[in-house]
Amino acid sequence: MAETVFQKGTKEIRLADKAGFCFGVKNAVDKAFALLDECGASGERVFATGRLIHNRTVTDELEAKGLRTVGTPGEAEPGARILIRAHGEDAAFYETCRAAGLRIEDMTCPFVARIHSIAAEAHRSGRGVVIVGDAAHPEVIGIRGWAGEPCAVISNLPEAEAFLRDLPEEGGWTGVSQTTFIEENWDAITGLLKDALGERIELRNTICSATRERQEGCRELAGWADCMVVLGDPASANTKKLLSIAESVCPNAFFAENKTDLPLHIIAGYDKIGVAAGASTPERIIKEVISIMS
Ligand code: F3S
């Protein structure tokens, strides 16, 4: 149930149920800060390939504490620590790190690691893997690396139809989802696959409960609100999905990264304002935004 965080006269602001950091992101961020403190004291270097989470405010703070970003593990200093991000990496990445003499600090979210296990197990037992998700997302690229071949990534119904057209007549498949995929789209795509493949496909809905809860909380709040503000980083897949859910229910939905890019003059024209936030949005940003709108 959304919580009322401000009320005065006709104006009310409610915060969506389960807004902000999910378990996996909080775990990765807390561990990274603790590691940087430890390594800062011992003089060890800490590297990451890309941003630890999709939130620039947090990653800027991590870099200020000494985290260095490199393009590939080979660019890190031998013997240094290397972080594996919450959305995981493929099996080859671990090998490359070991070969480069790096100490791995694995912050893969356990829900993502479970998908890696399902994909690897399907591959070992001779099944193809269908990943329902966005082929360009690092999480999906990581899962692909554990799935071997054959592997297909499907993000919409036309891609599902194309996959079915080109399919060999034999062979079993295991279907998994990107953790942040929209539930309705998973249902539509897998419904089509199940109708065509029947027992040849086993489906494992691996959309994470944190994603599901944030999407449900956002949808419910957007049904009440006459204006929705969705907070997060422009690169965050789960925040973009929250925005698309908010837009589908509420005609006035706005995206903001933090308090500085809020369209306050527009928001001030509405009475019932809902706030939702992606799984990589820190609580501090949510509080600042609510405070300035209040
Ligand atoms: Fe993990 Fe789910 Fe968050 S997969 S990183 S708890 S959105």
**CA-closest residue to ligand 1 atom 6:** 24
The predicted-structure confidence for 220-240, as pLDDT tens digits, reads as follows 999 999 999 999 988 888 899
Closest atom of ligand 1 to 28 CA is 5
Residue 281 beta carbon below 6 angstroms from any ligand 1 atom: no
Q: Is the pLDDT of residue 158 over 90?
A: yes
The predicted-structure confidence for 23-71, as pLDDT tens digits, reads as follows 999 999 999 999 999 998 888 999 999 888 888 889 999 999 999 999 9
Cα–Cα distance, 244 to 183 (Å, whole number)? 13
User: Model pTM?
Assistant: 0.85
Q: Is the pLDDT of residue 1 over 90?
A: no
Closest atom of ligand 1 to 179 CA is 4
Give the number of other Cβ atoms within 10 Å of residue 92's Cβ.
Answer: 10
Residue 233's SS3 state is coil
Cα–Cα distance, 111 to 88 (Å, whole number)? 10
Is 139 catalytic? The answer is yes
Pocket test for ligand 1, best of 21, 179, 236 (most atoms within 8 A of CB): 179
Give the number of other Cβ atoms within 10 Å of residue 162's Cβ.
Answer: 12
**CA-closest residue to ligand 1 atom 2:** 208
Quick one: pLDDT at residue 143? Answer: 98
Residue 210 beta carbon below 6 angstroms from any ligand 1 atom: yes
Quick one: pLDDT at residue 247? Answer: 97
If you average pLDDT over every residue of the chain, what do you get?
94
90: part of which helix (H) or strand (E)? none
- How would you class 89 by CB atoms within 10 Å of its CB: exposed for 0-12, middle for 13-18, buried for 19 or more? buried
Catalytic residue among 12, 38, 121, 139, which? 139
Amino acid identity of residue 183, one-letter, is E
The predicted-structure confidence for 96-117, as pLDDT tens digits, reads as follows 999 999 999 999 999 999 999 9
CB 291 within 8 A of CB 6: no
